Structures are given as C-alpha cells and as structure tokens.
C-alpha cells in the first residue's frame, strides 16, 4: 500500500506569475497544483484580463463579478494574488523584491516591455542568479515577428493548424477551422512547465537559473508532428480531411441511429475484427481493403459501406460490438455527456472547491495521477489583491 507524502511534489518552490490570459497562467496553475507557492502579480483595480471575460461566471449570481469569471478560474486555481502597478517605482520595487526570493518567474508581456521597468531577466537575475525566468510570447524574443502581439487563434492560423482542420473545400461546411479549444495556449503552457522543471534540475548542478524563451508559434509548428514532417519529407501539402486521419483507415466519424460514433482501426488485424463485428465478410475479403495503404487509397469507397452498416444501429449496440472485437470506438459526446460519463466520474475529474465567502465551485481536476504526491485541485482562485498585505509583510 502506497502512503501519500505530506506535501506536493513542488513544495518549497516559489513561482512569481506575472502573466495573464491563458498560456502563462495555465503553466502557473499546473505548478500550483503540484505544490508550488504561486504568487500572481496583477494590475490594481482590474487584474488579469480574464477577470472581465464574463459571463459565464462560476456562480449565478456571482458574489463578486471580478473574481468569479469562468475564464479566470480556469487558469488561476490555487494561487495567491498580489496587486502591483509596475509603471510606478513602488510597484517595480515590490516585484523586484518578490523576484529576489522566487525560484521561477513567468511573464507574457510584449517583447521589451519589462525591460522598461527594470523587471527583465538581466536585471532581476543580477540580484537573484538562481532565478529561472520564463518568457511566453506569440512569436518569441527574436525574429521579424517578435514585436507582434499574438493570441491562440492567430497562431493556429499562422502555424498551419487551421489549414489542416475542417472539411475539404468542396465538402459541405468546407474551409479552414480553428480548434474548439485554445490548443496553442495549452500546449505552450505544458512545454513551458517542462522547460521550467528542466531548468530547475540543471540549477541543482550549476547553481544558476536561466532565461526560457517560449513562443506560441514555435509550439504550434512543433505540434504539426507527423503532418509537418510529412510535408518536409515529400513537399506535399496535406489536405483537410474532416474527421479522418491521414495515416490509417477506417478512422472517421459515422452516423448511428441515435448519434455519432468515432472509430479508429489501427491495423489490418483490427480491420478484420471490425468487419467481423459488423458481419461484412465481403468487405473483409475485398483485396482493395486488405492492407491499410489500400484502405486509405479507397477510403471514399469504403466509407459508405461502413456508414450503411452503422446507420440503423444504436450507439450502445455499436459500442458493445466494437468493445467485444477490440476495436477502438466511442460516441461523440456533448459536454453534458462527458461529465456524466462513468469513466470521467470514476477518475475524479470534477472536484468541488470550497471558498469562505461564496458558494462552492465545481472545477475540472488536474489530470495528473501520482501515487505519493498527487496534485491538488481543491483551492480557489484568488480574489484580486487578496494576499498583497500577507505576502508583502513576509518579504525581507
């Protein structure tokens, strides 16, 4: 039997979070979930931009609209909030004192902004050489686009993701589409945390921090993975293919009698099992479909045959057939169905967060599972400036 350790994996780590909106704040929240003391520096009066990105609110009616935005709660759980106006000497001095006692600083200001206030990496690292300073911007600290502002969807477009997402131009609803979530922001947050933890590990050897330069565009280009590498290898621009994968087939969504089903058949043996489950021996025996390359080549022939076999069956019947056959399949769920799903419930992916001055808030839990030092998802997002006096009083 495994016994949980008394604290989080990152207990004792202090993070100064000077970022706003999503990529930087999410990186900070993940570190907070893992036990770090994350101090969020916000502008007086209004705070992080996402405090005003509402409705929706986490409570209806919201006890404090500026503190109850769903967007703000998404990326700021478990932090402490300090207000500081970095445009004035007093605010600059407070941030500098915080940085002097911090292990990590995360910021996502436009390139050069913090240097104007003496809060850039060269200045702060001179006072604290152990500081790991992570800058997150749309396009990085160098290159012709470095001065530009950049949001997630801008980068999805520029980084190629929208060009490969959606239906083909000649299909109904064809044309480039953005992802339903801020995927570039979220990937950047994860890469930033990997870089931060790597820099801290290296600091254990050298005793020195370093500057991390994270760009949403860099991350989005890296996220092109096999499709990007395929272009580099062949020079062929991949077309949009709707819900199909470019690498295996069947891999598509199909309409059943009571909803839509996603199916991915990953190899030839699975295809034979798939055909047996649907009682399609003639399809299994067709030489055009015997190997994955042929199924990809003849996908437009194979797709309607599968659609015909599925259209009168219920989702539950199809799921049972494919589970028994070992074929990966799932319904395409609405969010209501997601949060009612027994697997999601069993994994504890929804947690209730208590707060002293408002109703409890249901949040999506951190998905990391660790046997001794599990992350926490039970601490509220802070009120604007809630911890300013508490934090300032303990500074040297």
Query: What CATH number does the domain containing 308 carry?
Result: 3.30.1540.10
| 189 and 48 in a common domain | yes
The yes-or-no verdict on residue 249 having pLDDT over 70 is yes
The yes-or-no verdict on residue 236 having pLDDT over 70 is yes
| 299 and 209 in a common domain | no
Note whether residue 244 is domain-resident: no
Of residues 185, 193, 218, 252, which has the active-site annotation?
A: 185
Question: Residue 8 in contact with residue 375, Cβ under 8 Å?
Answer: yes
Contacts of 49 by beta carbon, 8 Å cutoff, 6+ apart: 20, 21
| 353 and 333 in a common domain | no
Split into its structural domains, the chain has a count of 2
Note whether residue 57 is domain-resident: yes
| 289 and 214 in a common domain | no
Average pLDDT in the chain: 96
Note whether residue 361 is domain-resident: yes
| 42 and 24 in a common domain | yes
- The range of the structural domain enclosing residue 209 comes to 14-223+348-394
β-strand 358-364 against 37-42: which pairing, if any? unpaired
Quick one: pLDDT band at residue 342, thresholds 50, 70, 90? very high
Note whether residue 358 is domain-resident: yes
CA nearest to 183, candidates 150, 226, 134, 219: 219
| 168 and 147 in a common domain | yes
Note whether residue 63 is domain-resident: yes
Please give the pLDDT value at position 356. Answer: 84
| 305 and 205 in a common domain | no
| 70 and 183 in a common domain | yes
Residues in the chain: 396
Q: Which of 293, 319, 339 is the last residue of a domain?
A: 339
Note whether residue 232 is domain-resident: no
| 315 and 195 in a common domain | no
| 75 and 175 in a common domain | yes
Q: Is 185 a catalytic residue?
A: yes
| 102 and 81 in a common domain | yes
Note whether residue 231 is domain-resident: no
Question: How far apart are alpha carbons 242 and 168 in whole angstroms?
Answer: 7
Percent of the chain with pLDDT over 90: 94
Please give the pLDDT value at position 1. Answer: 43
CA nearest to 24, candidates 79, 89, 67: 79
| 358 and 325 in a common domain | no
Higher model confidence: residue 173 or residue 100?
100
Question: Residue 263 in contact with residue 328, Cβ under 8 Å?
Answer: yes
Q: Check which CATH number belongs to the domain holding 171 and give it.
A: 3.40.50.10540
Quick one: pLDDT band at residue 214, thresholds 50, 70, 90? very high
Tens digits of residue pLDDT in 347-388: 999 999 999 888 999 999 999 999 999 999 999 999 999 999
CA angle 60, 64, 69 (to 5 degrees): 65
Q: Is pTM, for the whole model, over 0.75?
A: yes
pLDDT (mean) for 131-153: 97
The yes-or-no verdict on residue 2 having pLDDT over 70 is no
pLDDT (mean) for 183-192: 98
Note whether residue 310 is domain-resident: yes
């Amino acid at each position: 039997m495994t016994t949980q350790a008394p604290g989080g994996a990152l207990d004792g780590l202090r993070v100064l979070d000077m970022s706003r909106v999503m990529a930087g704040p999410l990186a900070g929240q993940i570190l907070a979930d893992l036990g770090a003391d994350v101090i969020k520096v916000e502008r007086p009066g209004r705070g992080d931009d996402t405090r005003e990105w509402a409705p929706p609110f986490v409570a209806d009616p919201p006890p404090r609209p500026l503190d109850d935005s769903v967007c703000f709660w998404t990326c700021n759980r478990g932090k402490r909030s300090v207000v500081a106006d970095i445009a004035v000497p007093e605010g600059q001095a407070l941030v500098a004192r915080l940085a002097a006692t911090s292990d990590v600083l995360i910021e996502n200001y436009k390139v050069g902004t913090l240097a104007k206030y003496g809060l850039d990496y060269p200045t702060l690292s001179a006072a604290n050489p152990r500081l790991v300073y992570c800058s997150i911007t749309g396009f990085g600290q160098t290159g012709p686009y470095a001065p530009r502002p950049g949001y997630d969807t801008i980068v999805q477009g520029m980084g190629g993701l929208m060009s490969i997402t959606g239906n083909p131009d000649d299909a109904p609803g064809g044309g480039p589409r953005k992802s339903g979530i801020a995927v570039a922001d979220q990937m950047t947050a994860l890469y930033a945390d990997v870089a931060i933890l790597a820099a801290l590990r290296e600091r254990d050897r050298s005793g020195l921090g370093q500057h991390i330069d994270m760009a949403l565009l860099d991350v989005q280009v890296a996220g092109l993975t096999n499709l990007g590498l395929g272009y580099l290898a062949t020079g062929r621009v991949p077309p949009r293919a709707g819900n199909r994968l470019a690498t295996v087939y069947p891999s598509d969504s199909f309409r059943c009698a009571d909803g839509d089903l996603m199916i991915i058949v990953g190899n030839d043996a699975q295809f034979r099992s798939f055909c047996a489950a649907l009682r399609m021996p003639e399809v299994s025996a067709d030489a055009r479909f015997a190997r994955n390359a042929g199924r990809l080549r003849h996908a437009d022939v194979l797709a309607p045959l599968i659609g015909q076999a599925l259209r009168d069956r219920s989702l539950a019947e199809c799921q049972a057939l494919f589970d028994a056959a070992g074929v990966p399949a799932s319904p395409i769920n609405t969010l209501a169905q997601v949060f009612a799903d027994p697997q999601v419930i069993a994994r504890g992916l929804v947690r209730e967060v208590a707060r002293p001055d408002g109703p409890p808030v249901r949040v999506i839990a951190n998905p990391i599972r660790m046997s001794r030092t599990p992350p926490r998802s039970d601490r509220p997002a802070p009120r604007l400036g809630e911890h300013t006096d508490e934090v300032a009083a303990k500074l040297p």
